[in-house]
Amino acid sequence: MRTYSFMTVLLWSCMFHVIHMMPSQKRTNKHSRSERITGLSENDGKTLHRTKRGWMWNQFFLLEEYTGPDTQYVGKLHTDQDKGDGNLKYILTGDGAGSLFIIDENTGDIHAAKKLDREEKSLYVLRAKAIDRKTGRQVEPESEFIIKIHDINDNEPKFTEDMYTASIPEMSGVGTSVIQVTATDADDANYGNSAKVVYSILQGQPYFSVDPETGIIKTALPDMSRENRERYQVVIQAKDMGGQMGGLSGTTTVNITLTDVNDNPPRFPQSTYQFSSPESAPPGTPLGRIKANDPDVGENAEIEYSISNGDGSDMFDIVTDKDTQEGIITVKKHLDFENKMLYTLRVEATNTHPDPRFLQLGPFKDTALVKISVEDIDEPPVFSRPWYLIEIDEDAKEGSIIGQVVAQDPDITKNAIKYSVDRHTDLDRIFNIYSGNGSLFISKPLDREEAPWHNITVIATEINNPKQSSQIPVFIRILDINDHAPEFAKYYETFVCENAKAGQLIQTVSAVDKDEPPRGHKFFFELVPEFAVHPNFSIVDNKDNTAGIMTRRNGYSRSKTSTYLLPIIIFDNDYPIQSSTGTLTIRVCACDSRGNMQSCSAEALLLPAGLSTGALVAILLCIIILLVLVVLFTALKRQRKKEPLIISKDDVRDNIVTYNDEGGGEEDTQAFDIGTLRNPEAREESKMRRDVIPETIFQIRRTAPLWENIDVQDFIHRRLKENDLDPAAPPYDSLATYAYEGNDSIANSLSSLESLTTEGNQDYDYLSDWGPRFKKLADMYGGEDSDRD
């Protein structure tokens, strides 16, 4: 609804009167009236006169939004020069002249041609002038006047935003400011109450209120809870005219959200929880989740879980899932069904960010009871230790027990257990184990210098359930015994100068030993007893595992003796004492005055003898011819080479000549001529062996006939001894003829024909006593079969 006010427009007419003025005088109207000066031409000779005229204007006022049927009359322009005869013409220029404002050029009446809006333009500046139609001259100078648009209440208040968003913490007190809204009115605030805005609330009561003058929205109810209602929509009205009836109004919407505060403690939905776990669950295994409810959100709902007490606080743990705010119960230590079957925990849930303003509401935590039952499973055997360390001397005999491992079934049934050695860790089968009691013993000789440590794995398996097995590492350390003799640390190239003096040091020797005595090595050096008092050299023990070779006389001659052999005995100090003899080769060399070696060759002595160059060339040619002959002889021998009878290098059988004669023994002299054995000529002494090609043709040594020897056994032993002591014989026994059967063997028959008549397993332990030739059979048949997989 709009209200229009009308005002009377007064047009003041301007009166013109002429004021005579002297040429030297000048007058100015203090009201800024214009002056017109009329002058005469120079030929007229008349006196000049000044005509005084003045426009007296007030502001023209015009109502905006005029809706009448006719144009709105603004005012009238008039001058006293106008006689009403139509000779004057009024012209209007300036803002809106000719479009918004039109003037009657005859009468000077001004009308508004269109509806005006003060909010678009509040005043217009125009200029008016009157001219003579006949002469076209201005009868009045151009004057300026203002048309001001008078305001009416045609604009409603408008808010700066169509929709407002605000938030306030829940549980805020009454009168807490939420947000301020602002509305503006385009009407003239200086004229009436058209622009005076008053605020009121249309929607949102009784929760909120608004200040009518400032537009500040405040809470109207105490302790508003976000958990009950989080969002509110408030509608605010702004009305002009001071809120009176007939004023224009505008509205806006304010969305208010209650933000969360930590005013609610966590609460478990139930007081008791039940979980179960197999006893084989490793540490860290999750058993279940529990959750305490907290209606708050964000960090106000963050919960920390802990175990406050209970008999399982050492066996279990609880961690908080930050994403779901749940407590995850996990296994902390290994469980044992046989030890304890049920655990009870008291779990506590606590807010991590409590608000001190609401602590009076009560403790911000809650507790619940958790019961965990342990389930029994079939567990593998458990060893008494995590690993075993066994030490044994390297000279321990085969079959000696070196230690024992112990494992047992942790289940209530206590199943029997058998032991075995993982052969992947003992490929040489040096160790074995008794399957019944876990005792480890040696199967092969030990050598610390070859392998000081042996790391094997022992497996314990339940007999009733072979799938249940466990293994344990066993570290076997071989302890050193003094079984190696010391020897020279290296090969020494020793020389003595021909001009050496007695007591001169020519070489320092040291020794090494493969053994490692606990107190360290200590070596002693001395000459062999046969050379205890050597006429040429002596040895001095330095007491630091080294010894010095000293000369015992002045001067040595290469022409007499170019090389000396000095045997030295090296002892250690461990038990049992070991010693070895090393021979030191000492060459006699020519040296300068400083003792530096110049030549050690004995042939160099012949050079000063005066041999000519031709003689030396002849000697060289002879040597070349001899070498050629040797090469030709070797080539001829290779052409006559025959294939050996024994092809395989592994065939080490005795070379025995087999006869088909099967006599009746020694007493049967008719079937076989035993005299052949007593005839030394029966042996083909000049006949070479056909199974190998000898590198050198040895001269077979003839022995004295043994016709007087009646015992054939003694005869054969004599022949064996002769061959063993013969340096020209091959490096193994080779006897062409065997005829002596000998006494009965102490070994029983190896035939298995009678094995069916015996009950039980055969005892083959006696094979170990037959010597190294039966070691293979002893390994195959001897001992207990304790490590079969």
Q: Which helix (H) or strand (E) holds 781?
A: helix 775-781
pLDDT(417) > 50: yes
Instruction: Please tell me the predicted confidence (pLDDT) of residue 368.
Output: 95
pLDDT(581) > 80: yes
Structure tokens at 256: 């208010």
pLDDT(279) > 60: yes
- Closest among 684, 666, 662 to 675, alpha carbons compared: 666
- Closest among 489, 485, 498, 610 to 554, alpha carbons compared: 498
**Distance, CA of 351 to CA of 370 (rounded, Å):** 20
Instruction: Please tell me the predicted confidence (pLDDT) of residue 669.
Output: 52
Average pLDDT over residues 745-769: 59
In one-letter notation, the amino acid at residue 245 is: M
pLDDT band of residue 377 (cuts 50, 70, 90) is: confident
Q: Bigger pLDDT: 332 or 677? A: 332
DSSP code per residue over 333-345: S---TTT-SEEEE
Query: What is the CATH T-level fold of the domain 272-375, as seen in this structure?
Result: Immunoglobulin-like (2.60.40)
Instruction: Please tell me the predicted confidence (pLDDT) of residue 177.
Output: 93
**Distance, CA of 94 to CA of 103 (rounded, Å):** 12
Average pLDDT over residues 645-671: 52
pLDDT band of residue 70 (cuts 50, 70, 90) is: confident
Average pLDDT over residues 359-373: 87
pLDDT(650) > 90: no
Our CA dihedral for 652, 656, 658, 661, rounded to 10 degrees, sits at -140
**Distance, CA of 541 to CA of 510 (rounded, Å):** 10
Tell me the residue length of the chain. Answer: 789
Average pLDDT over residues 363-367: 88
pLDDT(744) > 90: no
**Distance, CA of 174 to CA of 208 (rounded, Å):** 9
Instruction: Please tell me the predicted confidence (pLDDT) of residue 639.
Output: 75
Helices (H) then strands (E): counts for the chain: 4, 44
Structure tokens at 623: 């040597």
Helices (DSSP H) in 234-305: which residue ranges?
none
Instruction: Please tell me the predicted confidence (pLDDT) of residue 789.
Output: 41
pLDDT band of residue 111 (cuts 50, 70, 90) is: confident
Instruction: Please tell me the predicted confidence (pLDDT) of residue 87.
Output: 82
**Distance, CA of 234 to CA of 202 (rounded, Å):** 8
Instruction: Please tell me the predicted confidence (pLDDT) of residue 44.
Output: 41
**Distance, CA of 644 to CA of 646 (rounded, Å):** 5
Identical fold between 382-479 and 487-599: yes
C-beta separation of 71 from 62 below 8 A? no
What mean pLDDT is reported for the chain? 77
Instruction: Please tell me the predicted confidence (pLDDT) of residue 656.
Output: 55
DSSP code per residue over 544-586: SSEEEEEE-SS---TTT-SEEEEEEEEEESSSS--EEEEEEEE
In one-letter notation, the amino acid at residue 328 is: I
Instruction: Please tell me the predicted confidence (pLDDT) of residue 38.
Output: 31
Instruction: Please tell me the predicted confidence (pLDDT) of residue 719.
Output: 79
Average pLDDT over residues 746-759: 52
pLDDT(493) > 80: yes
Residues sharing a CB contact under 8 Å with residue 110, sequence separation 6 or more, in sequence order: 60, 73, 74, 75, 76, 77, 92, 101, 102, 103, 104
pLDDT band of residue 592 (cuts 50, 70, 90) is: confident
Please report where in the chains the tokens 């005013």 appear, as a residue. Answer: 263
Least confident range of 375-384, 510-519, 756-765: 756-765
CB atoms within 10 A of CB 411: 19
**Distance, CA of 103 to CA of 760 (rounded, Å):** 151
Instruction: Please tell me the predicted confidence (pLDDT) of residue 629.
Output: 92
Instruction: Please tell me the predicted confidence (pLDDT) of residue 220.
Output: 92
Query: 382-479 in CATH: which number?
Result: 2.60.40.60
C-beta separation of 182 from 204 below 8 A? no
Provide the residue ranges of all domains of the chain, joining segments of one domain with +: 59-150, 158-259, 272-375, 382-479, 487-599
Least confident range of 28-42, 262-276, 654-668: 28-42
Helix, strand, coil distribution of the chain in percent, nearest 5 = 10, 35, 55
Q: Which helix (H) or strand (E) holds 619?
A: helix 613-639
Instruction: Please tell me the predicted confidence (pLDDT) of residue 641.
Output: 59
Architecture of domain 487-599: Sandwich (2.60)
**Distance, CA of 275 to CA of 76 (rounded, Å):** 104
Average pLDDT over residues 236-264: 88
C-beta separation of 534 from 566 below 8 A? yes
Q: Bigger pLDDT: 48 or 126? A: 126
Considering the chain, what percentage of its residues have pLDDT values greater than 70?
74
**Coil, strand or helix: which one is 749?**
coil
Which tens digits make up the pLDDT trace of 429-453? 999 999 999 999 999 999 888 899 9
Architecture of domain 59-150: Sandwich (2.60)
Residues sharing a CB contact under 8 Å with residue 611, sequence separation 6 or more, in sequence order: none
Our CA dihedral for 551, 552, 558, 562, rounded to 10 degrees, sits at -70
The CATH superfamily of 158-259 is Cadherins (2.60.40.60)
Least confident range of 51-65, 305-319, 422-436: 51-65
pLDDT(327) > 90: yes
pLDDT band of residue 624 (cuts 50, 70, 90) is: very high
pLDDT(755) > 60: no
Instruction: Please tell me the predicted confidence (pLDDT) of residue 602.
Output: 54
* Integer Rg of the chain from CA: 68
DSSP state of 293: B
Residues sharing a CB contact under 8 Å with residue 186, sequence separation 6 or more, in sequence order: 119, 155, 158, 195
Q: Bigger pLDDT: 65 or 202? A: 202
pLDDT(761) > 70: no
Most confident region among 50-64, 231-245, 434-448, 508-522 by mean pLDDT = 434-448
Q: Residues 370-397, buried b or exposed e (16+ Cβ, 10 A)? A: bebebeeeebbbebeeeebebebebbbe
Strand-pair partners of 52: 17, 35
DSSP state of 604: G
- Closest among 27, 13, 9 to 56, alpha carbons compared: 13
